[in-house]
Amino acid sequence: MENRYDILFQPVRIGPVLAPNRFYQVPHCNGLGYRMPRALAAMRGIKAEGGWGVVCTEEVEIHHSSDLMPNLEGRLWGDRDIAPLQMMVEAVHQHGTLAGIELTHSGHHAPNLYSRVPPLGPRSMGVSGYHPWQTRRMDKEDIRNLRRWHRDAALRAKRAGFDIIYCYAGHNFCLAMHFLLRRYNDRSDEYGGSLENRVRLLRELIEDTKEAVGDTSAVAVRLAVDELIGEDGITHQGEGHDIVAMLAELPDLWDVNISDWPNDSVTSRFEKEGYQEPYIAFVKTLTSKPVVGVGRYTSPESMVTAIQRGVMDFIGAARPSIADPFLPQKIKQGRTEDIRECIGCNICVTGDLLSVPIRCTQNPTMGEEWRRDWHPEIITPTKEPKEVLVVGGGPSGLECARALGQRGYSVVLVEARKELGGRVALEANLPGLSEWRRVIDWRLTQIQEMDQVSVYPASPMSAKDVQETAYAHVVIATGALWGRDGVGRTHWRPIPGYDLPAIFTPDDILADRLPMGQVLVYDDDHYYMGGLIAELLSSRGCVVTMVTPAPLVSYWTQYTLEQERIQRRLMAKGVTLFTQHSLTSIQPDRLTLSHTISNFETSLPYDAVVLVGARAPNDELYLALKPALEKKIISTLRVIGDAEAPTIIAQAVFSGYLAATEFDKTSSEGTPFRIEYVEV
Active site residues: 29, 168, 171, 264
Nearest Cα neighbor of 5 from 342, 337, 338, 334 is: 334
Q: Are 390 and 397 spatial neighbours (Cβ–Cβ below 8 Å)? A: yes
The closest alpha carbon to 192, from 123, 257, 107, 119, belongs to 123
Establish whether the linkage from the previous residue to 79 is cis, with ω within 30° of 0: no
CA 438 to chain centre: 15
**Neighbouring residues of 618: CB distance < 8 A, sequence distance ≥ 6:** 478, 479, 480, 481, 642, 643
- φ, ψ of residue 604 to 5 degrees: the values are -130, 145
* Short-list 325, 457, 486, CA closest to 390: 457
Query: Is the CB of residue 256 less than 8 Å from the CB of residue 225?
Result: yes
Beta bridge partners of 99: 55
Residue 339 DSSP code: -
Sheet of strand 453-456: strand arrangement: 453-456, 410-414, 387-391, 473-476, 636-639
The amino acid at 203:
R
CA 221 centroid distance within chain: 24
Asked if 291 and 279 touch (Cβ cutoff 8 Å), the reply is no
Packed helices 395-407 and 438-448: angle between N→C axes, nearest 10 degrees: 30
- The CB-side HSE value for 243 (13 A sphere, CA atoms) comes to 32
> How many Cβ atoms are within 10 Å of 571's Cβ, its own excluded?
12
Return the number of other C-beta atoms located less than 10 Å from residue 643's C-beta.
Answer: 26
